[in-house]
Amino acid sequence: METLSENIAFGGVQGVYRHKSKVCACDMTFGLFLPEEARDGPVPVLWYLSGLTCTHENAMTKAGAQAWAAEQGIALVFPDTSPRGAGVADDDAYDLGQGAGFYVNATQDPWAPHFRMWDYIAEELPQVIGAEFAIDPERQAITGHSMGGHGALTLAMSLPGRFRSVSAFAPIANPSASSWGRKQLSAYLGADETTWARHDASVMMREVGFDGPVLIDQGSNDQFLDLLKPEALAGALAARRQEASFRMQKGYDHSYFFVSTFIEDHVAFHADALWR
């Protein structure tokens, strides 16, 4: 593993690291904030999955999560959103290819050789971080924004017992019924829509739910509401009678101004579950 940078922040350390990924067959970069308590032993961890066009850096520098994580004594992981590099397939559109991994394992060419973000987030990166840093694997939670909210919700519901809590900011909530989803799922997974179900949070919520608390924040002035389809997820939460809070935040849009406004609530929400 290569250390790209380490900076003191709120008594802890905000680092950026690069390693060779076996599952993605390329170098991958991630951010990791460790609170001061990590000097004395393993700490709980909150995973933050970012959205379309983002890298590890966007949430790390814009969300303002480190201050609240330091207050709660928990670590933050900021993975990248896709494999990258000259030999990695890409597309001219912003919503497919590099920067748009959608947290799936691609089965279709030209994406299959590198785009295995599900395995990277679910298996490889936790092993890499656990081997190098003071992280408690028994106390994990996950959140994300937009495409990352989609990833956080589907991973949490597909890996029972892994995460104690899950939250999302403006998630792509029903991708199998949206042009922000049908395009990518068909490109990465093929035309058989039965393979898409485990990557649709609304479908997953109705079918299996989550074995812990859920928090969703959605801006009422989000410019992508028709693509996100929050009403599908809200209906699935109600139908499942899921332990959840779904909050429509009046006037807020899709930006990191929205995320940074409510990140304190989300960190506190996860800390409550992680420290039980």
Enumerate the active-site residues.
146, 222, 254
DSSP-based three-state secondary structure for 105: strand
Q: Are strands 135-144 and 43-49 parallel, antiparallel or unpaired?
A: parallel
31, 133 in Cβ contact below 8 A? no
Beta bridge partner(s), residue 218: 248
115 DSSP 8-state letter: -
Beta bridge partner(s), residue 47: 77, 142
Cα–Cα dist 53/9, whole Å = 26
- Neighbour count for residue 221 (Cβ, 10 Å): 12
CA gyration radius, the chain: 17
Using left for φ > 0, alpha for ψ between -120 and 50, and beta otherwise, residue 251 falls in: left
DSSP H helices in the chain: 57-62, 65-72, 117-119, 125-132, 147-158, 179-189, 201-207, 225-228, 230-240, 256-274
